[in-house]
Amino acid sequence: MNISYKVKTITPRVKDYRGYSDMIFDLTVFVDYIDTETGSAVGYQISHKFDTEIEYTPEIPFIPFGEITEEKIDFLVQSLIENERVGWSEMTLNEWAERRFAEIYATPVSKPFVFQIPIKPVWIGTSP
């Protein structure tokens, strides 16, 4: 099994708060994990809440939503993915995806017998 991932969506929620305009309150990230050998995919959602009660200083300045760069968001999302832990066993997201694919592949699927598959009529010349 060879697993990769792709960030599908990043959804921030913002509002004016404590005298700051467009403060980010939380961020939701949807990630698809893909088994590149089969093309199968499983999704995972990360929810991150920001500390909105932080005291901003010159060393840690407030950055309005409109001034946040793509590079900063990419770095944040990569950090969230790397630091996310799943369940009581504290699995990484890659470990979770491997386990999830193994569960999916091990689950039996329904399949009809050949004699249960209805035969579709074949029309020759004109349609019915």
pTM of the model: 0.78
Local structure of residue 91 (DSSP, 8 states): B
pLDDT at 41: 95
Asked whether residue 3 carries a pLDDT value surpassing 70, the answer given is: yes
How far apart are the C-alpha atoms of 122 and 61, rounded to whole Å? 72
- pLDDT tens readout for residues 89-115: 899 999 999 999 999 999 998 888 988
Q: Residue 128 — pLDDT band, cuts 50, 70, 90? A: low
User: 5 near 33, Cβ under 8 Å?
Assistant: yes
State the average pLDDT over residues 20-28: 92
Q: Which H or E run includes 120?
A: none
